[in-house]
Amino acid sequence: MKRQGSQTVMFSQPVGILATASVVGKKEGEGPIGKMFDMVETDPFFGTKSWEKAESKFATTAVDICAKKSCMPMDSFDYIIAGDLLNQSTGSIYGLRNTNRPYLGIFGACSAMGEGMSIASMLIDGGFANNIIVAASSHFCSAEKQFRFPLEFGSQRTPTSSWTVTGAAAVALTTSQSDVVITAATTGKMVDMQIKDANNMGAAMAPAAADTIVAHLKDTNRSPKYYDAIITGDLGYIGSQLLLQTTAKMGYDISAIHKDCGIEIFDKNTQNTYAGGSGCACSGVTFSAYFYEQLRIGKLSKILFVPTGALMSPTSIQQGESIPSIAHAVAIERCAA
């Protein structure tokens, strides 16, 4: 039986990561890990006529680069699994409609990369696929327009607000041998602690992240020390503090090894991103460019990657609803040489 505990599956054959790809916007390219991305596109329209079309082009480009870095033609991929934040997932759908591959659309808000890597790993380990590309995208301008205010309005941002990352990430998974492998996946439950402030998504998502991380540690009977790093998606500064407090109360001190992609991707002092980065691309590109590389070169050997998602819509917020959240954890390890 591959299932372990209530939410975790362990893979009998670790699922290999064949390649990752990251394509980002100008601001992300100027950040602390800016030099590590595969491509920085400085035009927010990416040569198209709208931010939505630009987001789609980020997704197209990331998937194309990922296939190239995998040294495989697109038709070697048995599935593409992708998601984003736009209404009816138009970022992924219009970006990937010409791939001509069996397509599974997902929605987990900014947890998309975690959900996609989990499903892909199960499909590969279950014998249903040899190779799968997982992709996730977001765009600051399309997200502001859809979730907040028109950019032209120049609204003042709250200190708890985060900055949606512009870009897309793609990760190619495989049955073949690989330096870096996925060994387990813990699928999150929705957690709703009645946070209603859509400008404080870190606070809404922290309890979901804590719930999934603790479930993973309990299911696998591991201490946090098993991992070199536990890396959340886009909790940012405020959500990360809440996460550490919450996990500590639940009996797990992860403070020494916790990292957050929303904190890593921007410079707090010079980039005015307040609570940090967010968006489906935030965890996607930070993992693809930075943490995957650290695993590949041996600076990290075991990580728990935990993309986080705030599952509200503008309509649900306008109707007075709170923000259900979710986090999906994927254990990723470097194979001993």
In the bound state with its own copies, the residue whose beta carbon lies nearer, of 164 and 240, is 164
Distance CA 14, CA 212 (A): 21
In the bound state with its own copies, the residue whose beta carbon lies nearer, of 53 and 57, is 53
Contacts of 83 (CB under 8 A, 6+ apart): 89, 92, 105, 106, 107, 108, 112, 115, 116, 136, 280
In the bound state with its own copies, the residue whose beta carbon lies nearer, of 95 and 202, is 95
| CB 190, min distance to its own copies, A | 4
Distance CA 287, CA 294 (A): 9
In the bound state with its own copies, the residue whose beta carbon lies nearer, of 79 and 252, is 79
| CB 319, min distance to its own copies, A | 5
Question: Which backbone phi and psi does 67 adopt, to 5 degrees?
Answer: -65, -40
Residues 206/243, Cβ–Cβ less than 8 Å: yes
In the bound state with its own copies, the residue whose beta carbon lies nearer, of 166 and 212, is 212
| CB 234, min distance to its own copies, A | 16
Buried b (16+ CB within 10 A) or exposed e, 318-334: eeeeebbbbbbbbbbbb
In the bound state with its own copies, the residue whose beta carbon lies nearer, of 193 and 257, is 193
| CB 2, min distance to its own copies, A | 5
Contacts of 50 (CB under 8 A, 6+ apart): none
| CB 95, min distance to its own copies, A | 10
Residues 191/205, Cβ–Cβ less than 8 Å: no
| CB 147, min distance to its own copies, A | 9
Distance CA 39, CA 48 (A): 17
In the bound state with its own copies, the residue whose beta carbon lies nearer, of 103 and 226, is 103
DSSP codes joined into one string, 296-321: HTTS-SEEEEE-EEE---HHHHHTT-
In the bound state with its own copies, the residue whose beta carbon lies nearer, of 187 and 294, is 187
| CB 51, min distance to its own copies, A | 10
| CB 110, min distance to its own copies, A | 11
Question: Which backbone phi and psi does 169 adopt, to 5 degrees?
Answer: -125, 150
Residues 137/58, Cβ–Cβ less than 8 Å: yes
Q: What SS3 class is residue 266?
A: coil
Residues near its own copies (CB under 8 A) are 1-3, 6-7, 9, 49-50, 52-53, 78-79, 83, 85-90, 93-94, 96-109, 115, 118-119, 122-123, 125-130, 187-190, 192, 311-316, 319, 321, 324, 326
